[in-house]
Amino acid sequence: MAHRLELVALALPAGLAPESLPSPVAQFVTACWPGMSRAQLLARARSHGLRVSLRVRREPGPEDVRLYALVLVTGQSRVELLAHVRWLAHRRGARRARASRPPLRDSRQRGLF
């Protein structure tokens, strides 16, 4: 059975300060939202001029969540983020799932980084 991936959260590895992220990576993280599909995540990274790789990590994640290494490369910089991803069962013969859309943002809200 095929699975559909849904982003739950992005996290920085221990010892990496948010201020040390290159500008395109910080903009990419700001543009992400919970519920993004794998295709949306990869397309969003490429639209910010990043080369991207998403690989499963060996350590177990919280309940119903798997940990992935999201490696982003821009120019000479390489940043590895932790992506918390939920697997959703893909039923055979079911209609295609609607794409997740970004939530409306309040203009008064500051960026995370």
Instruction: Write down the pLDDT at residue 46.
Output: 93
Task: With cut-offs at 50, 70 and 90, classify the pLDDT of residue 94.
Answer: low
Tell whether the model's pLDDT for residue 1 goes beyond 70: no
Tell whether the model's pLDDT for residue 71 goes beyond 60: yes
Instruction: Write down the pLDDT at residue 88.
Output: 79
10, 70 contact by CB (below 8 A): yes
Tell whether the model's pLDDT for residue 72 goes beyond 90: yes
Residue 106 lies in a domain: no
Instruction: Write down the pLDDT at residue 68.
Output: 93
Residue 68 lies in a domain: yes
Residue 111 lies in a domain: no
Instruction: Write down the pLDDT at residue 92.
Output: 59
Number of domains, the chain? 1
The set of residues, in sequence order, having a beta carbon less than 8 Å from that of 97 and lying 6+ positions away, is 4, 37, 88
Domain membership of residue 19 as a residue range: 3-89
Residue 39 lies in a domain: yes
Residue 79 lies in a domain: yes
Give the tens place of pLDDT for each residue, 11-70: 998 888 888 999 999 999 988 988 888 889 999 999 999 999 999 998 887 788 899 999
- 93-103 b/e with 16+ CB inside 10 Å = b? eeeeeeeeeee
Q: Give me the amino acid identity at 34.
A: P
Higher model confidence: residue 102 or residue 54?
A: 54
Residue 100 lies in a domain: no
* pTM for the full predicted model: 0.76
Residue 69 lies in a domain: yes
